[in-house]
Amino acid sequence: MPVVWLSLLLLLTVGIEQMEWLFRLLEPDKRQVIYARASFFALLMQHVLVVGIASLLAVIIGVGAAIAVTRPAGRDFLPLVSQLASIGQTFPPVAVLALAVPVLGFGTLPIIVALLLYGLLPIVRNTLAGIGGIEPEMREAARAMGITPGQILRQVELPLAAPVILAGIRTSVTINIATAALGATVGASNLGDPIISGIVNGNTAYIVQGALLIGLLALTVDSAFERLVRQRQLTPAHG
């Protein structure tokens, strides 16, 4: 399935100019029916890049923080971090994006920071849930076998928590793709741009072009995660 969505996405990104006749039906009176301020390929790349950087950082920091507060040295911080992660998820992503602007200014950087901050929450929450859900006997057994704490983390805790962590990353990336599109309102150029520009100029064709591409991007990424989850279920975890 991810391959299907991906090929549709790429096909549409490259071939949207050839479909002018189709969008002409949508907006017969407009002089221009294909968004032309930037190539769709550049917009797609920009979108993927912003979401990619923010999500990668969110995974590193989020999983790292969750591991840190479940070690004996950081356990003091566990209740606060876990509460913060669940309260923070109540904040609407738009509001977080809007609040990032006064602090960081317009442009791509505030979006990356806002996506990173918001994307951390589901990852931290799920990593904590994943590690916390491991039965104590498993850890005891590993310790009894004489394995070091580092090995317990790598060979027991992380593999067992992986499905839950993966689900958190999936949620985080899905939200980030949607929120990044809103970044077009704070001066980032990405696939949200044609939509915003279409709304401002009353050009439905632009809106549909942007919306189709963002929708396909989201479906591609989501189905890739789906595939990843299914593969993990088929191959038994080593540990």
Partner 1 sequence: MGEGRQAPNWVLISLMLAAGAAWLTLDVVSVAPNRIVPGTPHVALGILGGVPAILLVLPMLAVTLLAWHPTRKGLWLSLASVTGVLTLLPLWLAAATAMLVDPDLPQARVGLGSAIWVLLFLLLLALIELRTRLGLSRPMGWLLLIPMLLAWWLSLVLWLEPLALQREYQARSDQFADALLTHLTLVGAAVGASLILASLLALAMRRHPGVRRMGFAALNFLQTIPSLALFGLLLAPLAWLASRFEGLASIGVSGIGWAPAFLALLGYSLLPMVRNIHVALEEVDPAVIESAHGMGMSRRQVFIQVRLPLALPVVLEGVRITTVQAIGLTAVAALIGAGGLGTFIFQGLGQAAMDMVLLGALPIIALALMADALIGFLSERLRPGGLE
Q: What are phi and psi of 34, to 5 degrees?
A: -110, 125
How many whole angstroms separate alpha carbon 134 and alpha carbon 132? 6
Examine residue 15 and tell whether it contacts partner 1 (CB under 8 A): no
Examine residue 19 and tell whether it contacts partner 1 (CB under 8 A): no
DSSP alpha helix (H) spans, 89-190: 93-104, 108-132, 136-144, 149-151, 158-182
Choice between 130 and 194, CB closer to partner 1: 194
Closest CA to 191 of 217, 219, 169, 172: 217
Q: Residue 67: CB partners within 8 Å, gap ≥ 6?
A: 127, 131, 153
Kindly indicate which of the ranges 12-20, 120-128, 137-145, 171-179 contains the residues binding partner 1, using the contact rule CB under 8 A.
Answer: 171-179
Q: Residue 169: CB partners within 8 Å, gap ≥ 6?
A: 55, 59, 122, 123, 126, 225
Kindly indicate which of the ranges 12-20, 79-87, 133-141, 145-153 contains the residues binding partner 1, using the contact rule CB under 8 A.
Answer: 79-87
User: Tokens representing 56?
Assistant: 């990668």
Examine residue 104 and tell whether it contacts partner 1 (CB under 8 A): no
Examine residue 212 and tell whether it contacts partner 1 (CB under 8 A): yes
Examine residue 107 and tell whether it contacts partner 1 (CB under 8 A): no
Examine residue 6 and tell whether it contacts partner 1 (CB under 8 A): no
How many whole angstroms separate alpha carbon 220 and alpha carbon 8? 9
Examine residue 174 and tell whether it contacts partner 1 (CB under 8 A): yes
The 26-55 contact track toward partner 1, x by CB under 8 A, reads x-----------------------------
Examine residue 22 and tell whether it contacts partner 1 (CB under 8 A): no
Residue 237 C-beta: closest distance to partner 1, Å: 25
Q: What are phi and psi of 92, to 5 degrees?
A: -65, 140
**Contact criterion met (CB below 8 Å) for 175 and 119:** yes
Q: Which residues bind partner 1 (CB under 8 A)?
A: 26, 76-77, 79-80, 83-84, 87, 90-95, 98-99, 101-103, 106, 174, 177-178, 181-182, 185-186, 192, 195-196, 198-199, 204, 207-208, 210-212, 214-215, 218-219, 222
